[in-house]
Amino acid sequence: MSVSQASSADPTSLPSVWRQYYALTKPRVVQLIVFCALIGMVLAVPGIPGWPELRLIGLACAGIWLVAGAAAAFNCIVEQGIDAKMRRTAWRPTAKGELANTQTLLFSAVLCLAGSLLLYVTVNPLTMWLTFATFVGYAVVYTVILKPLTPQNIVIGGASGAMPPVLGWAAMTGEVSPESLILFLIIFLWTPPHFWALALYRVEDYKKSGLPMLPVTHGNEFTRLQILLYTLVLFAACLLPFIYRMSGWLYLVSALVLSAWFFVYAWKLWKHYSDDMARKTFRFSLIHLSALFAALLVDHYLI
C-alpha cells in the first residue's frame, strides 16, 4: 500500500503516520549513502574486521543514516512547493500536506541530534562534524541556495553527496586520507551525468517547478554533451584506486568494463536522444556506482 492510500484509508492510524515519516527520509537515497559510507569504512580496515571494528561500523552506519535522513526530511520542507508540481515527487507527505512543516522540522531535528550524538559519543568527533557539515551542505547550501539559483547546482552540490566514503573512512581511522578523497572524487564526478540524465526525461517537470536545471536553461543538446564529457572524466577517475594501489586487478577490470559501458550509454544518448535512452542511462548510472564500489570491496579482500 502506498503512503497516500494508507493515509486516505485511516489518517490517524499509527502505521500510516510512520510510513509518512519514513518516506520523508528518502530511504532509497539514504541506503545508497550508507552503502558508500560502508565501503569507506571497510576499505579503511586492513583485512577482515574483528568484533570491535564491526561494532564501530554498525554504530557509524546508524549515525550516518540518522543524519542523512534528517537532511532528506529538511529538504522535503524546503521543496514542498516544488515537489507538489513534479510528478516524481508529488506523492511526498509534505507535498500532499499530510504532515505539517512543524512536524517535519521536529522530526528532522530529532534525527539530526540523535545521529550527531551517536557519532560523537560512540565513533569520534571528526566523523560527527564532517557528517553535520554534510547535512548543512545538502540541506542549506545546496537545497536553499544553489538549487534554485544556478544550473550548476548539481555539480557544486554534488560535494555533499560525495562525502559518505570520507565519513566512513574517518569513522574507522579518525582522519581524512587520500584514499577517501579518491572515492569522494569518483562520486563527485558521477553525480552530474546521473542527475542530468534524469532531468532530460523529466524536463517538463523541472520547467513547471521553476528550478534552473541544465536541460531547462541550456537545452537538451548541451546537456547531453555535458553528460558525455563527464562520463569521460569519470572514466579516468575510476582508474585512480588502481593507480594509487588501493585496489588490484579485479577492480581495474570491473572499472574498465563499467565505465566503458556508462560511456557507451552517454554516447548513444548524445548521438540519438530519446526519453527511453535517458531513462536507461539514468538507471545504468545507479548500477555503475553500486557495482564499482562492490568490486572495490571484493577486491579489497583478495589483495
pLDDT at 284: 96
**pLDDT tens profile 73-94:** 888 887 776 667 767 676 677 7
pLDDT at 125: 96
Angstrom distance (rounded) from CA 117 to CA 119: 5
User: Is 69 in contact with 200 (CB distance < 8 Å)?
Assistant: no
Lowest mean pLDDT among 93-102, 111-120, 183-192, 283-292: 93-102
Q: Report the mean per-residue pLDDT for the chain.
A: 86
pLDDT at 3: 35
**Structural domains of the chain in order of their starting residue, each with its CATH number:** 13-176 (1.10.357.140), 177-303 (1.20.120)
The whole-number average pLDDT for the span 58-76 is 92
The cell for 155 is: 555539480
Residue 176 reports pLDDT greater than 60 = yes
pTM value is: 0.84
The whole-number average pLDDT for the span 93-111 is 84
User: Is 116 in contact with 128 (CB distance < 8 Å)?
Assistant: yes
The whole-number average pLDDT for the span 148-155 is 72
Alpha helices in the chain (DSSP H): 3-9, 14-24, 27-44, 51-78, 80-85, 93-96, 101-122, 125-136, 153-161, 164-173, 178-201, 203-209, 214-217, 220-237, 240-243, 249-271, 275-302
**pLDDT tens profile 138-150:** 877 777 777 666 7
What lies within 8 Å, CB to CB, of 106 at 6+ separation is none
Q: 247: which DSSP letter?
A: S
**pLDDT tens profile 15-51:** 587 888 888 888 888 888 898 999 999 999 888 888 9
C-alpha to C-alpha distances, 127 to 26, 59, 95, 122, 293, nearest whole angstrom: 22, 12, 32, 10, 21
